Structure 1
Amino acid sequence: MLTEQVDTPTEEIGGDRADRSYQTPEWAKHVIWYQIFPERFRNGDPSNDPVADRVSGPPGWEIRPWISDWYDRTDWEKSLGDRFQDGVYHRRYGGDLQGIIDKLGYLQELGVGAIYLNPVFDAVSLHKYDTSCYHHVDRFFGPDPEGDVRIMEEEDPLDPETWQWTSADRLFLKLIKKVHGRGMKIIIDGVFNHTGTDFWAFRDLAENQENSPFSDWYAVKSFKSTDGNDAEFDYAGWWGHKELPEWKEVENTLIQPVRQHIFDITRRWMDPDSDGDPSDGVDGWRLDVPEEVGKEFWREWNALVRDINPQAYTVGEIWSDKSKEWVSGDLFNAAMNYPFAKAVQKYMIDRALSPSEFLTLLKKGRRSFPGEASFVMQNLMDSHDTPRLASMIVNPGREYNEDGRPEMGFDVRKPDPGERRIQKLIALFQYTYVGAPMIYYGTEAGMWGAGDPDDRKPMVWPEFNYEPEKKHPMNKERPADDNNFDPNLFKWYQKLGEIRNEHLSLQTGTFQPLNIDDDKNTFAFARILNQQKFAIIALNRSDQSQNMRIPLGDVEIPEKKHLENLLTDTRVEIEREHVEINLPPVSGVVLSPEQDR
């Protein structure tokens, strides 16, 4: 198919679904998201580093050096087994809240407007999805782990009247204040499908079985026998993982005491002073595996969130195309836009789609959401659950997030310059397409890695000198890869952030295809706020230079008869009602009139 010009009217954002109750906070339309995995972002306070007892570390266990070769195994790791994965999950690098506070300036320099934190609540694991306590921040994220434990032991976890503020809690509130002081927003992970086995209610249940006051809180299959038969304590664990026991569900919701506890901790973190002013609390929540909890619970919970703060933002972790069922007036404002990531991978990385097929797939996604939901979808490419974007490009032709492990043949090397060029083109589209771009920590700094655990390496910082990555998890030969901060890639993301933040048309403009050429593997589209405020984006995914003739569509031609190329600060002249440009291989442009600011 070849279409030199596409005479398509500007598409309204929002689709066929009528949902007049749907509303989204205005701020969420205008931000660039940045996802932080706290344990691996920055060690701002080495005095609070985790200890061996808490992480079940073997003899000789110690904090891992931040700048070390990721695949190099210490003696204590080797004592746990012959494979790289036998020891890696026992590692700790000491990332904490002070480290995030110290680097807020870096995020602002990158153009970030909102932060999403993976779980911060007290837990044993490095990822914190095995919650030990919802109403306290992890003891090793704050300045006084031992003192925080003493405070926790003084409380009745069922009674909010007894809850105190630990040093980690107070540092988290300080982080919120500093984020807000920079005009930014912050949301946290809500893991309400399961807890860890260290959770206070589960520990009581495991000890006292059916005599526990929490015997009906979890999805127990059988209690340990007390009459001599062979019955063992058994319960449902998330996807079979017994270290993640699931809450019990009845009639499409959690049981009342569990709901009440979750509602109590929701109030605690959204309005810490309990004074009706949510400005000192978090600005919303990312909800872990919400499809595995009944919708009745989420309707009640979302109603509570909006009652506390009508401008709060809730986003569900929805992997499938069913996200349209979860974004509505009574459920979530948005979803993590994994369908977007899958489509971009198929077109830009795997080259399995033509431009017209790619845009049709994206249109289907936009049309499935109500109202202005498309503006606030988190348009991510990678996360803590996927291979990193750079490594997706090194390993094309795989299903999104499938077999992203070295033992399945996944190549762990650093991307070459040509592959970095693809990453830059993907970022350009991510920052200019409909929705809010979300960057996984370190993607902008040059980090690469296979799936879990390799997608959770320590952040690379420009002030550190990192060891080359020369070991291989399968003990294979490989060249040594420089693992230092990539200033040129950072500047590219920084430039894209400046462009998006300065041009409202890229935040809330409608979408209009302008030129789609399947033979040349190029396409152009416009983001239109009004006839005077617009941006035109043109992309060349081919391996050759391409000439493009782009009609201006439903916009008003500027009096000065030219557009600015925002990536190069050069001008493109308008010829009648179109512009003509030449695009180098794997490149793009963003064109806009001067007044679109």
Structure 2
Amino acid sequence: MENDLENTSHNGNPVDTSYHAPEWAKHVVWYQIFPERFRNGDPFNDPIRERVGGPKGWKISPWTGDWYKQADWEKSLGDSFRNGVFKRRYGGDLQGIIDKLDYLQELGIGGIYLNPVFDAVSLHKYDTSHYHHIDRFFGPDPEGDVEIMKQEDPEDPDTWQWTSADKLFLKLIEEVHKREMRIIIDGVFNHTGTDFWAFRDVMKNQSKSRYKDWYSVNSFADDNGQKFDYDGWWGVKSLPELKEVDETLVKPVREHIFAITRRWMDPDGDGNPSDGIDGWRLDVPEEVGQKFWKEWNALVRRVNPNAYTVGEIWTEKGREWVNGELFTAAMNYPFTEAVQDYMIDQSVSATDFIKRLRSIREGVPDEAKLVQQNLMDSHDTPRVASMIVNPGREFDTKTKPKEGFDVRKPNPEERRLQRLIALFQYTYVGAPMIFYGTEAGMWGADDPDDRKPMVWPDLDYEPEATHPLDKDRPADENYFDEGLFNWYKKLGVIRNQHLALRKGEFQELLIENDANVFAFVRFLNKKMFCLVVVNRSEQTQKIRIPLNHFEVEEGKHLENMITGNRVEVYNSKTSITLPPISGAVLSPEKN
């Protein structure tokens, strides 16, 4: 156990702390899944009222219902939509994910990121009850799993067993790997839920609890009337913070986290991690000291040298967290914000946009540029479709309907901009990450509206006709957008077929602020490249692009992989006419 706290390998030699990104991570399109809302593959394991803490009459919400329409049990909690929405459960589970792996493969996905899957009370699972078990309602036998948990000493890994949910998760990993895809899961190591087994003991036994030093406790209840008080994440008492001393979590907490890290990365403990997860996404890592993360990342790389770790870093501080001792990558929210400012809000010029992207790239090691998660939306932001409907809002703030956020469905012109944003996302430096349903046409404000049940083509959905503030609104038809899905699918094919878009260098070729167009090239060498042209303007533009230093064989053209048309190259230049709000991806014709 103690060796895991040192920066040494199993044979005692120092661990290589230079930066390395796993090769596979340079080639994937990521897909983020919020498990409770992705697919209900097993209706017999749905959550129950007692675990949810729902009021009398509570029941599973209809997957295809009008999102803002309140059930009677929700109305009993208050008039506001938000009073009851967090008690909703839709029954998404692991079987639903397994059932839709072929869908993800068709979309061109190479890596899956799952929001928390560990046993927890809430719908979002960031309030962990057990790190060493998958949520009881994600597997086929919730009641049986609870009985298994009761037989264990959760502090002692030697007593841990495999529940039905755990076993189904291992099957999910196996099915993902069969398709030559990868899977990472959320690690929430700053805080737990109040239902966490150690915190329950602290609440019961107070200062006599053997786990009293696991948490940041301010005072224990006593006979003199003193109340139990502790630090919660951002003051949220349902998320008690784990105790940290000298830039790291206290020793028993570290040891527990190291044990569950091994459990999910190498389930059978044979030293072969092929049956385990391929990495981790780390929740709020800046709120835990770097000393802990260096110890933890060293362990991760010992268990699997090809593991991928990505931190939830919202700012350009990612440059302080992506290196050989810390994370492989960061969730690239600065990329998101830059794209919003230029593509959606039009608050910066094309020149300023390209400069910002260059600054973001320069903040991480060269190899890390290829594996940053370039996302446009997530479980913590409005859907990109609704960002487009509501331009001019500061990123990730003032995004609730009560602030005047327009909840309607995007119109065709707004979808056109979403397609252009996706084209840029798939061709820029780094790994694109799609939030579940973005490719299917889903829209919504920030939490909870970004967490609606996934829209599937085999289900019929009620129109969205209710407004969260009881205002009038037109009824919006809600259905799987096959055209938009095919667009993302096409972009996936283009990216997956062209190595230059995955590993190529980036070079700006043209920026014209007045015309609101720009072009860049991703290249491996002077003959292997992809030229990307973007017209963000509202007018058709004829764009002339210099191709100095890049060669096209005599008699050959560049193929527009979006339309299939060809464009000529003459005197190291080419030109293309693009409709408003559109783009092109050009590549030398093959023999």
1:595 offset after TM fit, Å? 3.9
Contact 1:445/1:486 (<8 A) preserved: yes
CA distance in structure 2 between the aligned counterparts of 1:178 and 1:106, rounded to whole angstroms: 13
The equivalent position to 2:434 in structure 1, one of 434, 439, 442, is 439
1:413 partner letter:
R
In the alignment, does 2:585 pair up with 1:590? yes
* Structure 1 residues 31-430: aligned runs within 5 Å: 31-226=28-223, 228=224, 230-430=225-425
SS of alignment partner, residue 500 of structure 1: helix
In the alignment, does 2:486 pair up with 1:491? yes
1:558 offset after TM fit, Å? 2.3
1:225 offset after TM fit, Å? 2.0
CA distance in structure 2 between the aligned counterparts of 1:483 and 1:593, rounded to whole angstroms: 40
Structure 2 partner of 1:4: none
1:555 offset after TM fit, Å? 1.6
1:526 offset after TM fit, Å? 0.2
1:406 partner letter:
P
CA distance in structure 2 between the aligned counterparts of 1:34 and 1:373, rounded to whole angstroms: 19
Structure 2 partner of 1:25: 22
1:556 offset after TM fit, Å? 1.8
CA distance in structure 2 between the aligned counterparts of 1:331 and 1:510, rounded to whole angstroms: 24
Contact 1:390/1:447 (<8 A) preserved: yes
CA distance in structure 1 between the aligned counterparts of 2:169 and 2:555, rounded to whole angstroms: 51
SS of alignment partner, residue 548 of structure 1: strand
In the alignment, does 2:499 pair up with 1:504? yes
Superposed CA offset, 1:89-115 (max 9, x none): 000000000000000000000000000
Structure 2 partner of 1:473: 468
Contact 2:19/2:324 (<8 A) preserved: yes
SS of alignment partner, residue 430 of structure 1: helix
Contact 2:557/2:568 (<8 A) preserved: yes
CA distance in structure 2 between the aligned counterparts of 1:509 and 1:253, rounded to whole angstroms: 38
CA distance in structure 1 between the aligned counterparts of 2:526 and 2:96, rounded to whole angstroms: 45
Gaps of 5+ in 2: 1-15
The equivalent position to 2:528 in structure 1, one of 523, 530, 533, is 533
Task: Identify the structure with bigger relative contact order (alpha carbons < 8 Å, sequence gap 6+).
Answer: 1
Contact 1:115/1:187 (<8 A) preserved: yes
1:417 partner letter:
P
Percent sequence identity is 69
1:349 partner letter:
I
CA distance in structure 2 between the aligned counterparts of 1:67 and 1:422, rounded to whole angstroms: 27
Contact 2:550/2:572 (<8 A) preserved: no
1:370 offset after TM fit, Å? 1.1
1:594 offset after TM fit, Å? 2.9
CA distance in structure 1 between the aligned counterparts of 2:547 and 2:441, rounded to whole angstroms: 35
Gaps of 5+ in 1: 1-18
TM-score for both structures, normalised by structure 1: 0.96
1:220 partner letter:
V
Contact 1:22/1:371 (<8 A) preserved: no
Structure 1 partner of 2:4: none
CA distance in structure 2 between the aligned counterparts of 1:129 and 1:560, rounded to whole angstroms: 58
Structure 2 partner of 1:8: none
1:86 partner letter:
N
CA distance in structure 2 between the aligned counterparts of 1:553 and 1:427, rounded to whole angstroms: 27
Structure 2 partner of 1:6: none
1:559 offset after TM fit, Å? 3.0
CA distance in structure 2 between the aligned counterparts of 1:116 and 1:443, rounded to whole angstroms: 15
Contact 2:516/2:537 (<8 A) preserved: yes
Give the RMSD, CA atoms, in angstroms. 0.9
1:552 offset after TM fit, Å? 1.2
Contact 1:381/1:439 (<8 A) preserved: yes
Contact 2:129/2:194 (<8 A) preserved: yes
1:533 offset after TM fit, Å? 1.0
CA distance in structure 2 between the aligned counterparts of 1:198 and 1:98, rounded to whole angstroms: 25
Residue 20 to residue 294, structure 1, CA distance change in 2 (3 Å): closer
CA distance in structure 1 between the aligned counterparts of 2:315 and 2:564, rounded to whole angstroms: 40
SS of alignment partner, residue 318 of structure 2: helix
1:333 offset after TM fit, Å? 0.3
1:512 offset after TM fit, Å? 0.6
1:20 offset after TM fit, Å? 7.6
CA distance in structure 2 between the aligned counterparts of 1:359 and 1:394, rounded to whole angstroms: 24
Contact 2:118/2:135 (<8 A) preserved: yes
TM-score for both structures, normalised by structure 2: 0.97
In the alignment, does 2:472 pair up with 1:456? no
Superposed CA offset, 1:460-494 (max 9, x none): 00111100000000000000001100000000000
Superposed CA offset, 1:49-71 (max 9, x none): 00000000111111011100001
Superposed CA offset, 1:93-145 (max 9, x none): 00000000000000000000000000000000000000000000000000000
SS of alignment partner, residue 314 of structure 1: strand
1:327 partner letter:
V
1:320 offset after TM fit, Å? 1.2
CA distance in structure 2 between the aligned counterparts of 1:575 and 1:480, rounded to whole angstroms: 52
CA distance in structure 1 between the aligned counterparts of 2:279 and 2:235, rounded to whole angstroms: 29
CA distance in structure 2 between the aligned counterparts of 1:80 and 1:294, rounded to whole angstroms: 39
SS of alignment partner, residue 242 of structure 1: strand
Superposed CA offset, 1:157-191 (max 9, x none): 01111000000000000000000000000000000
